[in-house]
């Protein structure tokens, strides 16, 4: 039996999914894309899991890109199908009803940056390098890089990264809005897990409402987005967690959310 390209570990309500191909700098091949899709399906369906952390094995890379050895011999239709396969997996992550945090511990290049960008939050080591170097291979980003980078960092930064193929450091990535926070490499795991645990203690249905509003609002007019937000806000009043949260605030105690 071949070794799984992933490691999956639960730490209380936080599930850590690790791309485990350090000998390939955790590059994404078809098997890894499929395994990630299944892993996120399972995380979404498991009630005990409230937050997911995604990272890469080893000290060098989060994910260094797609697996060039697999891509090199693809025909045009196969290349399109490979792109669609990666896009479907990343769209699954992006629309997950639970927060997903990318812990960027090293290189996040090409498909690796695309994978990080589909997560809801991104924490990077101060030693991380990020970029879309596909142009150097005679390619373009195929897993959503041009589209998510455009939405995160704007047109000028997207064109610069995708046209030059040059990587940037974590500080520049934060300036552009690509990553949320930077931590010293030795502290990255602790800071990421602290954030994950903070979210795991929040009201799960409220977190889902925020994710739904942001995902929907980013693709529609302000009027439609506001109407969707108001509807989601109203739905919260049907939850036991909302009653518990407001009651705990008035009673000056810590709430105990039950995902109901």
Distance CA 57, CA 171 (A): 22
Taking 80 as the threshold, does the pLDDT of residue 23 lie above it?
Answer: yes
Residue 15: beta bridge partners? 10, 52
Residues 196-212: tens digit of each pLDDT: 999 999 999 999 999 99
Number of structural domains in the chain: 2
The pLDDT assigned to 231 comes to 95
The pLDDT assigned to 191 comes to 98
Element (H, E) at 85: helix 76-94
217 and 154 belong to one structural domain: no
What's the domain range around 226? 204-250
222 and 181 belong to one structural domain: no
Residues 39-61: tens digit of each pLDDT: 999 999 999 999 999 999 998 99
Query: What is the rounded average pLDDT for all residues in the chain?
Result: 96
Distance CA 22, CA 43 (A): 23
**Whether the model pTM is above 0.85:** yes
Distance CA 170, CA 202 (A): 28
Sheet strands side by side (includes 129-131): 61-63, 107-109, 129-131, 168-169
Q: 140 lies in a domain?
A: yes
Eight-state DSSP code of residue 121: E
Residues serving a catalytic function are: 114, 134
* Model confidence band, residue 218 (pLDDT cutoffs 50, 70, 90): confident
221 and 181 belong to one structural domain: no
54 alpha carbon, distance to own chain's centre: 7
Reported for 150-154, long-range contacts at CB under 8 A and 24+ positions apart, including other chains, are 151/218, 152/117, 152/176, 152/177, 152/178, 153/177, 153/178
Of the listed ranges 69-83, 107-121, 157-171, the least confidently predicted one is: 69-83
Check which CATH number belongs to the domain holding 27 and give it: 3.90.226.10
Let me know the angle formed at the C-alpha of 101 by 99 and 105, rounded to the nearest 5 degrees. 175
* Model confidence band, residue 1 (pLDDT cutoffs 50, 70, 90): low
Give mean pLDDT, residues 158-180. 98
């Amino acid at each position: 039996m071949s070794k799984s390209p992933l490691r999956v570990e639960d730490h209380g309500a936080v599930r850590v999914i690790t791309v485990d191909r350090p000998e390939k700098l955790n590059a994404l091949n078809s098997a890894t894309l499929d395994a990630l899709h299944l892993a996120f399906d399972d995380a979404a369906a498991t009630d005990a899991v409230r937050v997911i952390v995604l990272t890469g094995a080893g000290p060098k890379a989060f994910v260094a890109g797609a697996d060039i050895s697999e891509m090199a011999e693809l025909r045009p239709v196969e290349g399109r199908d490979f792109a669609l396969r990666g896009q479907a997996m990343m769209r699954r992550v992006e629309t997950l009803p639970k927060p997903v945090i990318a812990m960027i511990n090293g290189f996040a290049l090409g498909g690796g940056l695309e994978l990080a960008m589909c997560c809801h939050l991104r924490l990077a080591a101060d030693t991380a390098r990020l970029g879309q170097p596909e142009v150097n291979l005679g390619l373009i980003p195929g897993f959503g890089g041009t589209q998510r980078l455009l939405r995160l960092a704007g047109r000028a930064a997207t064109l610069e990264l995708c046209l030059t193929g040059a990587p940037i450091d974590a500080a520049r990535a934060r300036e552009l809005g690509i990553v949320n926070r930077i931590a010293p490499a030795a502290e990255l795991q602790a800071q990421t897990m602290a954030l994950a645990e903070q979210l795991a203690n929040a009201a799960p249905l409220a977190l889902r409402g925020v994710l739904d509003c942001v995902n929907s609002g980013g693709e529609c007019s302000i009027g439609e987005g506001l109407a969707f937000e108001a509807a989601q806000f109203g739905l919260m009043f049907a939850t036991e967690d909302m009653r518990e949260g407001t009651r705990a605030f008035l009673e000056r105690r810590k709430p105990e959310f039950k995902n109901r």
